[in-house]
Amino acid sequence: MTDPDHAGWNTDTQAIRTGQLPTEEQAHSEALFLTSSFTYDSAAQAAARFAGDEPGNIYSRFTNPTVRSFEQRLAVMEGGERAVAFSSGMAAITATFLALLAPGDHVVSSRSVFGTTNVVFDKYLKKFGIDVTLVDLADPEQWRAAMTDETKLLYMETPSNPLNEIGDIAALARLAHEYDAELVVDNCFCTPALQKPFDLGADIVIHSATKYLDGQGRCVGGAAVGSHDRMEELHGFVRSAGSCMSPFNAWVFLKGLETLGLRMRAHSENARQIAEWLRHQPGVRRVHYAGFDDHPQHELAARQQHDYGAVLAFELEDSQRRADRQAAWRFIDATEIFSITANLGDVKSTITHPASTTHGRVPDDEKQRSGIFENLVRIAVGLEDVDDLKRDLARGIAALGGEARS
Ligand SMILES: *Cc1c(COP(=O)(O)O)cnc(C)c1O
- Looking from the CA of residue 113, the nearest atom of ligand 1 is 13
Residues 158 and 229 in one domain: yes
pLDDT of residue 369: 87
CA of 316 to the centre of ligand 1 (A): 27
Is the alpha carbon torsion for 282, 286, 288, 293 positive or negative?
positive
Probe target for ligand 1 pocket from 86, 97, 187, 211, with the most ligand atoms within 8 Å of CB: 211
Ligand 1 site residues, Cβ closer than 6 angstroms: 88-90, 114, 157, 186, 188, 208, 210-211, 220, 222
| Domain count along the chain | 2
Residues 118 and 246 in one domain: yes
- Looking from the CA of residue 161, the nearest atom of ligand 1 is 13
Residues 194 and 265 in one domain: no
CA of 117 to the centre of ligand 1 (A): 8
Probe target for ligand 1 pocket from 87, 93, 188, 358, with the most ligand atoms within 8 Å of CB: 188
Domain of 79, in residue numbers: 4-257
pLDDT of residue 27: 94
Residue nearest to atom 4 of ligand 1 (CA): 89
Q: Does a structural domain hold residue 18?
A: yes
CA of 188 to the centre of ligand 1 (A): 7
CA of 261 to the centre of ligand 1 (A): 20
Instruction: Read off the pTM.
Output: 0.96
Residues 221 and 347 in one domain: no
Assign residue 346 the CATH number of its domain.
3.90.1150.10
Which of 223, 240, 257 is the last residue in one of the domains?
257
pLDDT of residue 318: 81
CA of 191 to the centre of ligand 1 (A): 12
Residues 321 and 219 in one domain: no
Selection from 264, 158, 132 nearest residue 211 by Cα: 264
Q: Does a structural domain hold residue 405?
A: no
CA of 90 to the centre of ligand 1 (A): 6
Probe target for ligand 1 pocket from 155, 205, 210, with the most ligand atoms within 8 Å of CB: 210
Residues 55 and 179 in one domain: yes
- Looking from the CA of residue 221, the nearest atom of ligand 1 is 7
Which of 232, 257, 282 is the last residue in one of the domains?
257
Strand order in the sheet with 182-186: 82-86, 222-226, 204-208, 182-186, 151-157, 106-110, 131-135
CA of 92 to the centre of ligand 1 (A): 9
pLDDT of residue 338: 98
- Looking from the CA of residue 116, the nearest atom of ligand 1 is 4
Assign residue 111 the CATH number of its domain.
3.40.640.10
Residues 231 and 291 in one domain: no
pLDDT of residue 3: 52
CA of 208 to the centre of ligand 1 (A): 5
Which of 241, 257, 273 is the last residue in one of the domains?
257
- Looking from the CA of residue 92, the nearest atom of ligand 1 is 9
Residue nearest to atom 8 of ligand 1 (CA): 89
CA of 143 to the centre of ligand 1 (A): 23
pLDDT of residue 5: 63
Residues 211 and 270 in one domain: no
Residues 207 and 147 in one domain: yes
Note down pLDDT in tens along the chain; length 406 residues: 445 568 889 999 999 999 999 999 999 999 999 999 999 999 999 999 999 999 999 999 999 999 999 999 999 999 999 999 999 999 999 999 999 999 999 999 999 999 899 999 999 999 999 999 999 999 999 999 999 999 999 999 999 999 999 999 999 999 999 999 999 999 999 999 999 999 999 999 999 999 999 999 999 999 999 999 999 999 999 999 999 999 999 999 999 999 999 999 999 999 999 999 999 999 999 999 999 999 999 999 999 999 999 999 999 998 777 878 999 999 999 999 999 999 999 999 999 999 999 999 888 998 888 899 999 999 999 999 999 999 999 999 999 998 999 8
Residue nearest to atom 5 of ligand 1 (CA): 89
CA of 209 to the centre of ligand 1 (A): 8
